[in-house]
Structure 1
């Protein structure tokens, strides 16, 4: 199957899984509120890993969607544009699920007072170098590193460069930024797999790890075809 066909197949499958997980999540919360089965498991608290992951990954995904739309306007290369389209659709769907769960849990979409981004992960409220060496955490020394609040996020300066780039330069920069973004997202999703307690959310996090790892391999090949490599 061609790369284009592989990407289309991945997106269709991912969308179906996303919808199934959303319905499963609604059923789980309905049960937690007493609307379904008599057993009523406790919903996550605002400071839980489940809520923290949902809030932070929603923000993380939003930037991936933004970068994907930016590169669409910066290149005519169909492979890069198709990859951006797939990422934008998949992560927009997942972002909707994460925000939907916060609504179903009756929790705010912003962190509680005094809780910084990534505080739900071990060492997440501190410097990047205190975060157990997890991949994607490098360069996150402060709460706001030029707008990069979480692992792998591009800075405001980098986003500005991407908006100005055209052609091959835009393609390479997008692939490099998205590679770092995916590595950070994988680290966050693995954190949820380890710490989240809501089964449907853990399953979504596992799916994120698998899908983004696959896209990391694809982006490495695309960079190599352009004589470039991921950033260190």
Structure 2
């Protein structure tokens, strides 16, 4: 092969490598953008479903209950759509809990005694989750970030930490690690609408916490919280 031909081949190879790198960066950028959108959208779906579940469980009007269940069915469909997008953006994410429309049966008058520290920066989702957990009898203490959570933890000594992972300031995994240093028996349940780094999954595993994906089904949430409460009181 002549020297000029070798130079041309090297240039072609170099250009192809640069093209592949550019495509990779573009895919990564799209994935991150999709992740941010899914994070917010999943919070919205979760809040809507939570309030619909409360309406369904509290109303005596069968028409209102049917309307509420239709809203929940729509939320379930929206959740499936975001899951498809999530599989494209971050295929290594943990599987979400299977969804169901049986939440009404779980929102009974059964009383429990565990204290839950709920950390969630999305107000509507935090309040909906608090109402549902409180309805069963849990003592729920709300925090919108890790800083607030630390103060509540010192005052209330909760049995369970239920925390979002992606928050302003310290992440949920950092919060869990520090709180478990103070209270090794603290039970932890993580949640997120989008985990876009494998390292986050490793952090979850290292914190020995359970995980439920947003938008979570409230029956699945109650079962997981109930199991953690039983472990905490054992």
Question: Structure 1-normalised TM-score?
Answer: 0.32
Larger Rg over CA atoms: 2
The structure with the greater share of residues assigned to strand is: 2
Q: TM-score, normalised by structure 2?
A: 0.32
